[in-house]
Amino acid sequence: MTPEHVEFLERVFPRLPKSAPSKFQFQSWKHGGRATGEGLGVMSVAGVEPAEVEAAAWDVNNYKGNTQAVVECRQVPDERFDGETQQRFYQRIEIPVLGAIHYELLMERVAERDGWSGVAWSVLRSDTDRLDKRRGMRSDYNHGCWLSKPGLIAYGLGSAPKRDDVGFIKWKAMTKGADATAPRMFQTNVEGMAAWVKRRR
């Protein structure tokens, strides 16, 4: 089966800007009748290089303290993946009021295309389903990407929790509510990545 992030990238690349935007740019779209939309945020960041963004995005063991809302994140050894071009990792994030959501993901490096390169990921279904829902909601889907070209950072994402793991009010907040607040969340994440890249220099 083709990892979901591969198909997601085919929806992202045509939406990437042809020239550098003067301010943060966000767009979203629906796909497959899912409960949430997919989104893409792009921002100009003077002096940033693709290799820097890719290195930070790949460094999952240091997400905590450097990326938004992450309370736990680590690479998981798995003989299915080589650890250099593909890696499995576990992540748990804490959302104010709503609680924690966690998942296991496959991340892969993205070869350069139209000047953009980076990483992309999607849920490892059976591994996520085995997680303890008492520690947090489990993801139904979570696919995304960090892409960059000189002077630009792009962040794409589509995500939602498993419906059976949440009550009605939380479900609405995590779907309709998430779509409503997505522009700000995407901007915060891109700004956070830009800041982390600078700290790593």
For the chain, the structural domain boundaries read: 4-199
Kindly report, residue by residue over 86-97, the tens digit of the pLDDT. Answer: 999 999 999 988
Look at residue 118 in the predicted model and tell me its pLDDT. Answer: 98
Angstrom distance (rounded) from CA 156 to CA 174: 17
Please check whether residue 145 is in contact with residue 116, taking contact to mean a CB–CB distance below 8 angstroms: no
- Give the class (CATH, top level) of 4-199: alpha beta
Look at residue 86 in the predicted model and tell me its pLDDT. Answer: 97
The mean pLDDT of the chain is: 96
Kindly report, residue by residue over 32-78, the tens digit of the pLDDT. Answer: 999 999 999 999 999 999 999 999 999 999 999 999 999 999 999 99
Mean local confidence (pLDDT), 114-130: 97
Kindly report, residue by residue over 187-199, the tens digit of the pLDDT. Answer: 999 999 999 999 9
Confidence class of residue 124 from pLDDT cuts 50, 70 and 90?
very high
State pTM to two decimals.
0.96
Q: Who's near 132: CB < 8 A, 6+ residues apart?
A: none
Look at residue 3 in the predicted model and tell me its pLDDT. Answer: 86
Look at residue 201 in the predicted model and tell me its pLDDT. Answer: 96
Q: What is the DSSP letter of 23?
A: S
Angstrom distance (rounded) from CA 155 to CA 9: 11
Mean local confidence (pLDDT), 15-21: 96
